[in-house]
Amino acid sequence: MSVTRPTAPFGTAIVTGASSGIGKVYADRLAQRGYDVLLVARREDRLRAIAADLQERFAIQADVLVADLSIAAGVAAVADRIADDPAVSMLINNAGFSALRPLAETPDEVIPRMIALNVTALTTLSKAALVAFTAKGAGTIVNVGSGAGFAPYPGIPVYGATKAYVYLFTRSLQNEAEGTHVRVQLLLPGAVVSEGWDVAGGGALERLPEAIVMTTEDCVDAALNGLDRQEAVTAPSLHDEALFHDYEAGSAALLQGMFDAKPADRYRLIR
């Protein structure tokens, strides 16, 4: 007789980049909330240890999908799971990395790999989830951007731009999902203690004032609090919400102002 395990009431949350940092805490908190979890990253040993721990502590199902999301085959493996497994109810698009170097000193291979992970994988998986969740009338997508995506910041020319993409892409995705039962949350962490700073190199975390660096636990707890409060955009470190609203109002006005058949007066040719 085959014994079927009851499906978790919340379904399965896929967490990319679950082997450390923010993703690892997401996996922990979602398992605690009663989700089954599918942990995605490249380091299988870590994923298996985390999965075993979550199963033990929270009596949920924790599975592992070892995938390099900077290559198409890795992204396809996760997209297929989203399309084929009706239990999948949440996607945390968290995997990402940074390199703290000026462009001229950034190794050639790092650039396409960063764009592939931070931009292409996140976009492809968002689409897979949007399609699957729209078809079944429910689901949540969380895209992890960054405060670093709002203005040029020295030393992160490619990373900052990938996160600017995550911001604009996710805001557009939210427009597209309006009127469906698919929820899309944009998470904008500030500076968060994680191994990501070691990956980025340069010992930058140690040089930041303690007062501006958040723990991964506080970041994820605030993110889930924002999700519970139906927030579209959650910026855990941002105390003055007006700054974000003013930014968006300014960019909406700029968008309007950008389109006109006539060149602006300052470009009028003096003959």
**Residues that bind ligand NAP in the complex, under the rule CB under 6 A:** 17-23, 41-43, 68-70, 94-98, 117, 144, 146, 189, 191-192, 194-196, 199
Phi, psi of 136 (to 5 degrees): -100, 0
Contact by Cβ (8 Å): 36, 8: yes
Catalytic pick among 26, 35, 153, 159: 159
Q: How far is the CB of 195 from ligand NAP (least distance, A)?
A: 4
How large is the greatest C-alpha to C-alpha distance in the chain, in angstroms? 90
Q: How far is the CB of 33 from ligand NAP (least distance, A)?
A: 19
Residue 189 vs 226, nearer CB to ligand NAP: 189
For the question of residue 26 being annotated catalytic, the response is no
Q: How far is the CB of 54 from ligand NAP (least distance, A)?
A: 15
Calpha distance 47→43 (Å, rounded):
6
Residue 138 vs 164, nearer CB to ligand NAP: 164
Q: How far is the CB of 41 from ligand NAP (least distance, A)?
A: 3
Residue 107 CA: distances (Å) to CA of 70, 104, 113, 165, 246:
16, 8, 11, 21, 37
Which of helix, strand or coil describes residue 9?
coil
Alpha helix stretches (DSSP H) within the chain? 21-33, 44-58, 72-84, 110-115, 122-136, 157-177, 196-200, 204-207, 216-228, 241-257
Contacts of 64 (CB under 8 A, 6+ apart): 38, 39, 40, 44, 47, 48, 51
Helix (H) or strand (E) holding 211, with range, is: none
State the CB neighbour count (10 A cutoff) for residue 104: 6
Q: How far is the CB of 235 from ligand NAP (least distance, A)?
A: 10
Q: Which residue is closest to ligand NAP by CB?
A: 21
Residue 117 vs 233, nearer CB to ligand NAP: 117
Residue 11 vs 17, nearer CB to ligand NAP: 17
Residue 94 vs 170, nearer CB to ligand NAP: 94
Residues taking part in catalysis: 159
